Amino acid sequence: MTKRRLRADGTPSPRGGRTPKPPPTEEQLAELERLTDGLPDELRAYRDRGLLNPVRRFRLEEAIRHRTRTLVPVLHGVHDPHNQAAVMRSCEALGLQEFHFIQSVSGRSLHASPRVTQNAHRWIDVVEHADFDAAQSTLRDRELVLVAAAFTDAALPLQAMDFTRPMALLFGNESKGLPREIIEACDGTFVIPLYGLSQSLTMSVAAAVTLTWAVETRRRAWGEPGDLTPEERMELRQRFYETALRGNLPDDPGQSLDKTD
């Protein structure tokens, strides 16, 4: 059994090298209490009955405040379960509420590694589509612009993209990228400029770089990336509180999919 490293004071160092978030301030906790006072009875009960402690409720509320449904990553033909899971984890960490996956022609469905998601799949909406046509119909009905990560003559550099628009970002297979017919069906394409000798990034890293840039672009434009309506926040609050209290959801992301189409 591997021994854990010790801090200078002799106590065990945290596992996984995670950077702890600073605790909420007294002012932030006071604001949380004011918000909680205005919630429906069933949600106030999480505080009044001691079901969730103040720090946990603060973390949940911060996540809800930064959530968005108008920046949506869509994976097509991405077979590696680690890549699938890594993008899920990036989505949740950056405040994206939805992760969409299009099955490949061979019928391969989502099988993201729960070891890599680190429970991120419990907090987001994972939507699986039978094919691109079904995904395109769903996303365009919501008036999302479809933009593909692809090398084309008209591709914009990542930094030139207007991410303040409601947008779905399509990422393709690890080695072949997106099929030509999907690229042509999208409203535009973009690339990540590379300044070294390497000619590409791994699929999950490319998605993480893109989504991070998009979120920060929105933060600079809006002050924060979250854009849920009060009604959407309330719905998500109910789900998050229940999830945090139960803590016994399936470990396999495939067991909690919201399958459509």
Instruction: Please count the other Cβ atoms lying within 10 Å of the Cβ belonging to residue 239.
Output: 14
How many CA atoms within 13 Å lie on the side-chain side of 116? 16
One DSSP character per residue, 84-150 reads HHHHHHHHHHHTB-EEEEE--TT-------HHHHTTGGGSSEEEEESSHHHHHHHHHHTTPEEEEE-
Output the tens digit of pLDDT for each of the chain's 261 residues.
445 566 555 555 555 556 678 899 999 999 999 999 999 999 999 999 999 999 999 999 999 999 999 999 999 989 888 988 999 999 999 999 999 999 866 556 777 777 888 888 899 999 999 999 999 999 999 999 999 999 999 999 999 999 999 999 999 987 889 999 999 999 999 999 999 988 889 999 999 999 999 999 999 999 988 999 999 999 999 999 999 998 644 444 444 434 344
The DSSP 8-state label assigned to residue 50 in this structure reads T
pLDDT value at residue 181: 96
Sequence ranges of the domains in the chain: 26-65+227-256, 71-222
Structural contact between residues 219 and 164, judged by C-beta atoms closer than 8 angstroms: no
Task: Give the tokens for residue 1.
Answer: 């059994």
Query: In sequence order, which residues have a C-beta less than 8 Å from that of residue 207 and are 6 or more positions away?
Result: 73, 75, 86, 87, 90, 149, 169, 171
> Is 166 strand, coil or helix?
coil
**Considering the chain, what percentage of its residues have pLDDT values greater than 70?**
85
Mean pLDDT of the chain: 87
Enumerate the β-bridge partners of residue 75: 101, 171
| Spatial distance between the Cα atoms of 190 and 132, rounded to a whole number of angstroms | 19
Task: Give the tokens for residue 210.
Answer: 């893109």
| Spatial distance between the Cα atoms of 144 and 150, rounded to a whole number of angstroms | 18
Q: Strand 167-171 and strand 258-259: pairing?
A: unpaired
Task: Give the tokens for residue 216.
Answer: 């920060």
pLDDT, tens digit (0-9, with 9 covering 90-100), for 201-233:
999 999 999 999 999 999 999 998 899 999 999
Structural contact between residues 166 and 70, judged by C-beta atoms closer than 8 angstroms: yes
For the domain bounded by 71-222, which CATH number is listed? Answer: 3.40.1280.10
AA letter at 31: E
Enumerate the β-bridge partners of residue 171: 75
CA geometry: angle 255, 257, 261, nearest 5 deg: 135
How many CA atoms within 13 Å lie on the side-chain side of 251? 5
| Spatial distance between the Cα atoms of 125 and 54, rounded to a whole number of angstroms | 25
Enumerate the β-bridge partners of residue 188: 147
Identify the residue whose tokens are 């939805």.
98
Enumerate the β-bridge partners of residue 147: 169, 188
The DSSP 8-state label assigned to residue 191 in this structure reads E
Nearest to 223 by CA among 60, 96, 66: 66
